[in-house]
């Protein structure tokens, strides 16, 4: 990213936390999507992988808006992020189509443990949350499989790890129990995740 893009990226983060700490929902809502907008505008859409990552960012941006407190459409936000993760899966498959079923076991085991931990607290959200966990777990697995496909491919895996952590924290405080600095932790890990995934996109021109 260019220096100006970094400035706007961090101004968006600062604006969100200012709005959060002061209870200004308008500032929160306006600032929250800014970092991802910067990433969308910064991706060089010169490869199929980069194009898919851009689509994932756009779907995430929609999810950001839907999950904002002023909008508060949790289920629709969940669906938007589910589609974002599905697109990320397609992007990672561009880097590696190796089946690697055995390597999937620890990731799906984590997803199963998380779901059964939350299940009694989910109520009508049980099916949507299960679908989401399956998709994000698959995204994490495929990011792991492709991590050695290039010098910068590892950043996608790191990003997927942070995304999984962020969504796990959201699930815990929304369905199980709130904890200190829960909102701060989830949004910071989320922005870290998206930035790391951005670093996995190539800026080299394709002739």
**102-115 average pLDDT score:** 97
CA dist list (Å): 138 to 4, 88, 91, 153, 175: 35, 10, 12, 17, 22
- Residue 205's pLDDT is 54
- Residue 158's pLDDT is 98
- Residue 136's pLDDT is 98
Instruction: Tell whether the model's pLDDT for residue 207 goes beyond 60.
Output: no
Taking phi over 0 as left and psi of -120 to 50 as alpha, with beta for the rest, 146 belongs to alpha
Measured distance CA(202)–CA(107) in Å, rounded = 27
Helix 48-67 to helix 34-42 angle (10° resolution) is 170
Tell me, yes or no, whether 206 lies in a domain: no
Tell me, yes or no, whether 205 lies in a domain: no
Measured distance CA(29)–CA(38) in Å, rounded = 16
Tell me, yes or no, whether 154 lies in a domain: yes
Beta carbons within 10 angstroms of residue 64's beta carbon: 23
Instruction: Tell whether the model's pLDDT for residue 57 goes beyond 60.
Output: yes
Number of domains in the chain: 1
Tell me, yes or no, whether 84 lies in a domain: yes
Measured distance CA(169)–CA(182) in Å, rounded = 7
112-163: pLDDT as tens digits: 999 999 999 999 999 999 999 999 999 999 999 999 999 999 999 999 999 9
Residue in the structure block whose two tokens are 């792991």: 144
Supply the DSSP string of 124-163, one letter for each residue: GGHHHHHHHHHHHHHHHHHHHHTTTSSTTTHHHHHHHHHH
Range(s) of the domain holding residue 107: 3-199
> How high does pLDDT run on average in the chain?
95
Tell me, yes or no, whether 204 lies in a domain: no
Instruction: Tell whether the model's pLDDT for residue 204 goes beyond 90.
Output: no
Tell me, yes or no, whether 54 lies in a domain: yes
Higher per-residue confidence, 15 vs 1: 15
Tell me, yes or no, whether 207 lies in a domain: no
Q: Over pLDDT 90: what percentage of the chain?
A: 93
- Residue 206's pLDDT is 45
> Which pTM does this prediction carry?
0.95
């Amino acid at each position: 990213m260019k220096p100006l893009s970094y400035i706007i990226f961090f101004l968006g983060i600062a604006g969100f936390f200012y709005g959060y700490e002061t209870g200004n929902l308008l500032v929160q809502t306006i600032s929250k999507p800014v970092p991802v907008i910067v990433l969308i505008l910064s991706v060089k859409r010169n490869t199929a992988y980069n194009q898919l990552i851009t689509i994932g960012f756009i779907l995430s941006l929609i999810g950001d808006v839907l999950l904002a407190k002023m909008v508060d459409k949790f289920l629709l936000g969940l669906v938007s992020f589910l589609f974002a993760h599905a697109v990320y899966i397609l992007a990672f498959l561009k880097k590696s189509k190796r089946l690697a079923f055995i390597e999937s076991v620890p990731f799906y085991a984590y997803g199963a443990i998380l779901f059964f931990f939350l299940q009694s607290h989910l109520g009508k959200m049980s099916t949507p949350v299960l679908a989401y966990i399956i998709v994000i777990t698959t995204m994490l697995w495929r990011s792991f499989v492709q991590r050695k496909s290039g010098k910068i491919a590892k950043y996608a895996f790191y990003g997927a790890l942070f995304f999984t952590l962020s969504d796990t924290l959201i699930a815990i405080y929304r369905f199980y129990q709130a904890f200190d600095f829960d909102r701060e932790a989830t949004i910071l890990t989320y922005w870290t995740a998206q930035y790391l995934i951005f670093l996995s996109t190539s800026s080299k021109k394709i002739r």
